[in-house]
Amino acid sequence: MDNFMPAIKVLGFTQKQTSIHMIKLIAFSLAFLTSMLFSSAIFADPLVYEGKSGPGKGKHIVFIASDHEYRGEETCPAIARILAKRYGFKCTVLFGLDEDGFIKPGSSKIPGMEALDKADMMFLFLRFLHPDDATMKHFTDYLDRGGPVLGLRTTTHGFNGLKGKNSKYNYNSRDKSYDWGFGRQVIGETWRPREGAGHYGRNHRYSTRMFVVPDQKDHPVVRGVNDMHAMAGAYSAVPIEGSVILGKNQVLDSMKPDGKPLADKPPSPCIWVREYKSKSGKKGRVFASTQGASEDIVSEGVRRVIINGVFWCMGLEKNITVDMNVDFVGPYKPTTFSFGGGRKKVKPLDLVGFESQLLPETKR
């Protein structure tokens, strides 16, 4: 008799149709779950270098590298490895990534920002970013508690295109309570060529010599710092009131360290320190330099002043010595800076360990 009964209907579908729909639903759910797990795997486990002993033991520095031109994705892990291996710091390095998890210079997609929630210091190499609100919250919460900050090169104009409550952090913000944005209010300068902060020496034609301001020769940040030659062209800057200018630049007539200073380019501030007052009321120390490109840090003097800056920002200036070891850890082969340049198809986990090449020439 069953053979002659009409097909059972469930919610308007026959039993056969219901089974087909259930199979499709299960297949879709499995595909979605697989996609989520794959996506999580792509962006999980940020790059971490951790030392065993030294004055930095127990201190956590979070590096954020995402600029379009000056190869911050090479500078940041190189400095992180020195600080971890030689001085015991834990260094987490975050990068701008593309949708497949490859390092994409200038990307505003920066997984792992929650590392800032318990960080002891923030080290930045940014340019014109606009992360989403959830990502920015970790950043702004860090600033609100007054954590120390180090910013290199284009970090003066680290944000652009932020909307709503975060728009005040944009490099060109004219919010009366936060004029010229994060760059000016925290780092000490932004990108404002009409006011004297912009390109000063032409890239790839004129390199940059930096020198310690004589009046600041005893400051701990410049302890042991001698010759500083940078391949990236000079910027001009007018650091915010209260900044202590430690170094100035000279625009050279060639790309060589022995180039002659251009007579029509008087020295401009290129290294300074300051403090910013946070929402909590605490003051945070800041080190800033308008140099720091990946080829710049080939100069021992440039590396040394940056590493000294980290120690000073964290209140560890007593540990700065004239002969601190700032040698690279592992192979470092920087690429010449340019828009669209840098090594391709590299993932953060390709840089794991102290002996991996920075950055590898991958073939995927």
pLDDT (0 to 100) of residue 111:
98
pLDDT in tens for each of the 364 residues of the chain? Answer: 444 444 444 445 555 555 555 555 555 444 444 344 334 445 558 999 999 999 999 999 999 999 999 999 999 999 999 999 999 999 999 999 999 999 999 999 999 999 999 999 999 999 999 999 999 999 999 999 999 999 999 999 999 999 999 999 999 999 999 999 999 999 999 999 999 999 999 999 999 999 999 999 999 999 999 999 999 999 999 999 999 999 999 999 999 999 999 999 999 999 999 999 999 999 999 999 999 999 999 999 999 999 999 999 999 999 999 999 999 999 999 999 999 999 999 999 999 999 999 999 876 6
Rounded to whole angstroms, the Cα distance separating 50 from 60 reads 9
Q: Which helix (H) or strand (E) holds 286?
A: strand 283-289
Rounded to whole angstroms, the Cα distance separating 235 from 30 reads 53
| Structure token pair of residue 147 | 């954590």
Rounded to whole angstroms, the Cα distance separating 128 from 108 reads 9
User: Under CATH, what is the fold of the domain 47-199+272-351?
Assistant: Rossmann fold (3.40.50)
Rounded to whole angstroms, the Cα distance separating 224 from 304 reads 8
Rounded to whole angstroms, the Cα distance separating 137 from 156 reads 19
44-48 CB contacts, 8 Å cutoff, 24+ apart:
45/349, 46/92, 46/93, 46/94, 46/111, 46/112, 46/115, 46/348, 47/77, 47/92, 47/93, 47/94, 47/95, 47/348, 47/349, 47/351, 47/352, 48/90, 48/91, 48/92, 48/93
pLDDT (0 to 100) of residue 30:
46
| Structure token pair of residue 186 | 């925290």
- Specify the 3-state DSSP secondary structure of 79: helix
The CA distances from residue 251 to 72, 181, 197, 207, 241, in Å, are 22, 28, 15, 6, 24
Closest CA to 77 of 60, 97, 63, 57: 63
pLDDT (0 to 100) of residue 12:
54
Rounded to whole angstroms, the Cα distance separating 153 from 127 reads 9
pLDDT (0 to 100) of residue 28:
47
pLDDT (0 to 100) of residue 43:
55
Q: Which residues pair with 229 in a beta bridge?
A: 209
Rounded to whole angstroms, the Cα distance separating 143 from 40 reads 28
DSSP 237-277: --PPTT-EEEEEEEEBSSSSTTPPBPTTS---EEEEEEEEE
pLDDT (0 to 100) of residue 36:
40
pLDDT (0 to 100) of residue 16:
53
Rounded to whole angstroms, the Cα distance separating 171 from 179 reads 9
Closest CA to 286 of 231, 245, 343: 245
| Structure token pair of residue 324 | 């601190």
| Structure token pair of residue 359 | 């950055």
* H-helix segments, 46-132: 72-87
Domain locations along the chain: 2-40, 47-199+272-351
Entry pTM: 0.89
